[in-house]
């Protein structure tokens, strides 16, 4: 089955120890889509401004992403400018954001997409994430991502939203901030009580943890020693996770473990290039090939 994603489409200006790149296609929905497309059909729900380069639109279409619910509004595309400093490539320092068309955007889902049963609410204002529910006729699997900004300033909306979703994805810092628990196992258990029956905690270079009432498991991250730009790694991870789960159309233990492996594998490619430099050209063959080595990395024998 296909998957829909609500999130941002941005123009990113990123500085990392490997260099500087301007006006790159970015945003949570775009990174998610570039990953999930490897597994299934992707429908993007987002907004850009009139200044959004045609080449980016063409690129997304060429990658097979359905843009029926991508709105082109008067105004400027959302811009993010950030930096990763040498020695701490896990932490993005936001230097500037220009919200542009995000300020007035209200998500809408085209009629033909309202039967989508797999939806990911990528990092976005929780009040806008809530808006999408009125369009969803038969949700089966709704995933949610958020960030510290919303955990701090829109906790009430976020907590309301958490009662409505099935899968919550957070990085370690977000999981700690939202749960108030430092120990990540305790944090996962606490997030579970907030609503979502599946919790995934991303730990960057340390891998990821899955928690549900039935099962808990964890894998290390695929070992990457050449991190160029981590922007979008979390969204790429989520794209692999939701993309594979949507394709498999199952949520049993084995499927969940495989989904987490795919998620980590695709994310490991993302960090090797600026923006979507690496994931845009990525093929399933490359993913499967890397996954073979990845599985050996934490095999018992």
| Minimum CB–partner distance for residue 189 and a copy of itself (Å) | 7
Which residues bind to a copy of itself, rule: CB under 8 A? 86-89, 182-186, 189, 203, 205-207, 209, 216-220, 223-225, 227, 253-254, 257-258, 261, 295-301
| Minimum CB–partner distance for residue 261 and a copy of itself (Å) | 7
| Minimum CB–partner distance for residue 245 and a copy of itself (Å) | 16
Residue (81 or 290) nearer to a copy of itself, CB:
290
Residue (10 or 208) nearer to a copy of itself, CB:
208
| Minimum CB–partner distance for residue 185 and a copy of itself (Å) | 4
| Minimum CB–partner distance for residue 55 and a copy of itself (Å) | 33
Q: Which residues of 32-59 are buried (b: 16+ CB within 10 A; e: fewer)?
A: bbbbbbbbbbbbbbbbbbeebeeebbeb
Give the residues across from 170 on adjacent strands.
201
Map tokens 């049963």 to a residue.
117
Residue (182 or 249) nearer to a copy of itself, CB:
182
Residue (75 or 204) nearer to a copy of itself, CB:
204
Residue (91 or 281) nearer to a copy of itself, CB:
91
Alpha carbon distances (Å) from 139 to 5, 9, 242, 276? 13, 23, 13, 29
Contacts of 100 (CB under 8 A, 6+ apart): 49, 75, 76, 77, 78, 79
| Minimum CB–partner distance for residue 113 and a copy of itself (Å) | 34
| Minimum CB–partner distance for residue 70 and a copy of itself (Å) | 36
Residue (14 or 261) nearer to a copy of itself, CB:
261
| Minimum CB–partner distance for residue 175 and a copy of itself (Å) | 13
Residue (153 or 217) nearer to a copy of itself, CB:
217
Residue (54 or 87) nearer to a copy of itself, CB:
87
Q: HSE-up of 19 (CA within 13 Å, CB side)?
A: 7
């Amino acid at each position: 089955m296909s998957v829909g994603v609500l999130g941002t489409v941005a123009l990113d200006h990123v500085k990392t120890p490997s260099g500087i790149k301007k006006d790159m296609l970015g945003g949570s929905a775009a990174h998610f889509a570039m990953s999930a497309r490897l597994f299934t059909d992707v429908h993007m729900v987002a907004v850009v401004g009139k200044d959004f380069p045609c080449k980016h639109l063409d690129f997304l279409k060429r990658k097979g992403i359905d843009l029926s619910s991508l709105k082109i509004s008067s105004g400027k595309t959302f811009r993010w400018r950030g930096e990763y400093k040498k020695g701490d490539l896990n932490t993005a320092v936001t230097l500037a954001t220009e919200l542009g068309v995000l300020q007035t955007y209200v998500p809408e889902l085209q009629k033909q997409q309202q039967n989508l049963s797999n939806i990911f609410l990528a990092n976005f204002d929780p009040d806008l994430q809530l808006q999408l529910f009125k369009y969803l006729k038969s949700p089966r699997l709704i995933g949610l991502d958020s960030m510290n900004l919303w955990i701090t300033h829109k906790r009430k909306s976020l907590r309301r939203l958490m009662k409505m979703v099935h899968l919550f994805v957070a990085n370690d810092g977000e999981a700690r901030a939202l749960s108030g628990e430092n120990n990540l196992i305790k944090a996962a258990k606490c997030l579970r009580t907030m609503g979502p029956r599946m919790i995934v905690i991303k730990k960057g270079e340390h891998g990821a943890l899955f928690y549900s009432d039935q099962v808990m498991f964890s894998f290390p991250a695929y070992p990457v020693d050449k991190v160029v730009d981590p922007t979008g790694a979390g969204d790429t991870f989520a794209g692999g996770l939701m993309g594979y789960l949507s394709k498999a159309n199952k949520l049993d233990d084995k499927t969940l473990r495989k989904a987490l492996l795919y998620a980590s594998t695709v994310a490991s490619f993302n960090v090797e290039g600026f923006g979507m430099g690496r994931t845009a050209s990525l093929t399933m063959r490359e993913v499967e090939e890397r996954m073979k080595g990845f599985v050996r990395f934490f095999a018992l024998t």
